Structure 1
Amino acid sequence: MTKKFKVDDHVSWNSEAGRVSGTIVKVHTRDFDYKGHTHHASEDDPQYEIRSDKTDHIAAHKGSALDRI
């Protein structure tokens, strides 16, 4: 089962720098371009844009990479 999240959920994920936390700012349910790459998303398998708590950097991840905190 795919994890589902909504805008303003506080989540964490693994990055190259270790565990990072942030807040979901957008939910994508269709394919979208982000930083020069096409990210595939659907109603059944959305992708999320998350703003990092520490750096305000925006990252895009599937729900399977995220944990609600």
Structure 2
Amino acid sequence: MSEKLKKGDHVEWNTSGGKTEGEVKEIITEPTDFKGHHFEASKENPEYRVESSKSGKDAIHKGEQLKKSKEKK
């Protein structure tokens, strides 16, 4: 990911079931635990909590896994 993401950005990412889209809900800049997993986020390497448009479920992804979508669906 070459561009910075911000809260509210619409993004897409790949999953085992294909491409998924959603919205950035939070930018995480410190180590955190979420749904039984530990994430080593930092200000230099933030991670992003995103909500899937399809399922409504939240997940945390590294910035390089996310691509800003051109239009909101």
Question: Normalization by structure 2: what TM-score?
Answer: 0.88
Percent identity between matched residues is 38
Measure, in 2, the Cα distance between the counterparts of 1:26 and 1:11. 13
Structure 2: give runs of 5+ residues left out of the alignment: none
How far is the alpha carbon of 1:12 from its aligned partner? 0.3
Measure, in 2, the Cα distance between the counterparts of 1:67 and 1:38. 23
Equivalent residue number for residue 37 of structure 2: 37
How far is the alpha carbon of 1:3 from its aligned partner? 4.3
Measure, in 1, the Cα distance between the counterparts of 2:54 and 2:17. 12
Q: For 1:9, give the aligned amino acid.
A: D
RMSD: 1.3
Q: For 2:16, give the aligned amino acid.
A: E
Question: Normalization by structure 1: what TM-score?
Answer: 0.93
Equivalent residue number for residue 56 of structure 2: 56
Structure 1: give runs of 5+ residues left out of the alignment: none
